[in-house]
Structures are given as C-alpha cells and as structure tokens.
Amino acid sequence: MKWDLTAVLVVCLCFLGAPGAGQVSVQAEKRPQYPAKNSSEFSPVDVRVPIPPTPVMSVGKAYLAYELIITNFQARDLTLTAVEVFNGVFMIADYRNEKLTNALYRPGIPRDPSDRRDIGPGMSAIAFIWLTMDPATIPSALHHRLTFRVLDPNGNGVDTIVESRQVEVRKDRPLVLPPPFEGGTWAAGNGASSTSIHRRAFTVIDGGMRMPQRFAVDWFKLGDRGRGEDDAKLVHDDPRKNENWYGYGAEVVAVASGIVSAIKDGIPDNVPLAKSRAVPITLETIAGNYVFLDLEDGHFALFAHLQPGSLRVKVGDKVRRGQILGRLGDSGNSDSPHLHFHIVDGNTPLGAEGLPFVFESYELLGVLKDLGVLTRDDGWRPQPSTAVEKCSKEMPLENMVIRFP
C-alpha cells in the first residue's frame, strides 16, 4: 500500500529494506585518531547537516536522526566508501558496504544508480543517519570522517579522508504531548525509523530543501469484532467504504494550546485502496484537508487528511489543548482513512524541518511486521497483557501498536 505525503512535490522517496533495516546501534569503540590526508590535488567536498539532531527516547533507548548532505565540488568522480561517526575519540557508528549503500539517496538521478556511493562532479548524496544508543551515552557533539576513493592519473584507486565540521547535539528536549485523539488503540504507521517513507521524504519549496516528515506518523485506528479477545483490524466488511474503517470520523483534537495558522477544507475524501485520488495531487491538495497549529516556541503541528466539512476552527482562532479541530478522513494523497501528524520548526506545513516529539504516556502492545496485516488475513492479535509495556515521555517507532489512555 502507498501512504501519504509522498507523491508529486515530495521529491525524495527512498524505501530501502524492511522496517528497521539499516539502523545503527551505537556501541562506543575507542579508535585512534589519525590525521586527514592533505592533498593539493583534492578539491573541496562539502558536508552539511540541515538541522542538528535532538535526542528522543523510545522503549528505553535514545535515538538521533539527522542527515549528511554530501556534494562533490571537484571535476573527478568520487566513490564514498565509509562514513564514521565520532564522539570525541570514540567512534560510535560506522557506515560502509551494504549499510552505507542502504543509508544513501542520490537526488537528481533519474533512476537508481548501480552504486549509490558513486558521486559524480557537481553531484550530491544524502546519508540518512539513524543512531540508537543508551541514554547515558548521548554525546554533546558529533563529527564525521568520510572516506572517498578517487582515481589518480594512472587510474589507481586512492583513498582520501575528509573530516567534517563538528555538529552540536541539541540540548533541548522534545515536545511532550497528549495524543491527537481521545484515547483508543492505534498503529503508528510509517512512524519514526531509519527506513520509514516519512524519514526518507524531503520537499523543495520556495528554493529550500527541507525534511518536514522526519518524525511524522500516520495514525490508523484499530478495532475488533465486538469482543476484546478477537484479532484487531483497521476495517470491517467492504474496505472500499470509508465508513467501514474504524478510524474514519474519529475526533481529532489539539495536542496543545495554540493559534490556528493555516487550514484547508473542501477536498473530497478518496475511495479507500483505489489507485487514483479524488483530486489531482498538488502542493495545495497533497495534505488533504488539514489544520496547522502554531504551538509557540518554534513548534508547529500538522493534522492532515481530515474529512471535508468537518473542520471546527478557522485561521486566527485560539484553541486550547483537547479542543476538537475536525474529524479523521481520507482526503489528499491518502489511500485509506488515517491521521497524518507531524511537528515542524516553521510556519509552513511542508517547508520546514521535522522535529521529534514524545507522548505523555501510552501502552506499547506490540509491533507489526507491516501495516498490511491489519487489512489482510485474520488481522493482528495483541500480546498477552503481561507483555504490555507502559511508556512515559517516549516516541512511538514505526508500526508500533499503541493504546492511549
């Protein structure tokens, strides 16, 4: 199934491997520091981090998600063979071979190159970094060592090392929120992970490249067949009818007090699971009907794919935490009823950088192998109650099944 906010104006969609593939679990290792090779024959390579990472917790681990944008400014081809991440003298992550290939995307290439590590003159690569670590080992700053293979005049491969500038790890804590709906059991579809389609999507709007969906979640409501012991599913009876999806029409509420800075209404719902959309997908329609809230302190919340005609607020309204904004729908670039939710750092739904957020409390019921199990076969059976994990001030990861109080 194809999910939302990933077509037309989202110019990067790189879905590599199964959920969780390519994640790097940090194990500090002391490596000797050796000087970078200084060569007058090597032209500049630019390494840029769009936004410094903010640590966020989930199931007792800390996560750092950020990107390296690597641009080859010289006239020769480069092959990136390694990206090492350091906390001082400690190497905490090592990307090379298949792990490196899976972490890379090549913007501007009309089709996937045979080797994503090859960066031609004037071309760029994006390395999607996803670090998992013990909370006690969160670094205050990171730096990166990149190894490139170039050909000398005789055609021999020579390794050249580039040390990037230090990247500060942000000290501010993620926003703590209640859920954007009134309780229930929900699946965190396409939620935070190294390979989620949201993690690998970027937009280019008004001359700037941003990653607004870095921590976005598509929330799908689970229901059962009338008895608590039954397997849970997303839909009953005919899945081509929106009203048969358990989440359709659910009240969507403000996660904090704020001011409505933008809305969209009047876009019709789609037919669930259809290959086409009710309207052409453009910058104006991609999020469907939505409410965009200014939560102050540089945080803005997007509630997307709402039912047409269900919005209860207008631009400029001051809303309070828990106030109803609209109803969950299937509008815009969506193929089944769900709520797309994310937090960004600017007053534009798709033209700002995505920020992490955590929820006040929830129960972790399990993790889906993929979202499709909720619509096919016999659905998904929750774990025994003894296996339920209570979480506080944590971020759900991709395809987790969550019960909110």
Q: Reduced to 3 DSSP states, what percent helix, strand and coil does the chain have, rounded to the nearest 5?
A: 5, 40, 55
| Res 263: pLDDT | 98
Distance CA 16, CA 115 (A): 14
What is the pTM assigned to this prediction?
0.87
**Residue 146: domain span:** 31-168
- In a shared domain, residues 148 and 271: no
Distance CA 103, CA 202 (A): 15
- In a shared domain, residues 149 and 192: no
- In a shared domain, residues 85 and 199: no
Q: Do the domain assignments include residue 98? A: yes
β-bridge partners, 357: 175
Q: Which of 194, 213, 193 is nearest to 202 (CA)?
A: 213
Which amino acid is present at 87?
Answer: N
| Res 153: pLDDT | 77
Q: Do the domain assignments include residue 69? A: yes
Domain count, the chain: 2
- In a shared domain, residues 345 and 216: yes
Distance CA 150, CA 69 (A): 19
| Res 40: pLDDT | 42
- In a shared domain, residues 141 and 202: no
- In a shared domain, residues 203 and 346: yes
- Out of 168, 188, 203, a domain closes at 168
Mean pLDDT per 10-residue segment, the chain (405 residues): 38 31 42 43 77 96 97 92 94 96 90 88 96 96 94 82 93 95 95 94 91 97 61 89 97 98 98 96 96 96 98 98 98 97 96 97 92 76 73 96 93
- In a shared domain, residues 351 and 333: yes
- Out of 143, 168, 193, a domain closes at 168
Helix (H) / strand (E) element for 97: namely: helix 97-103
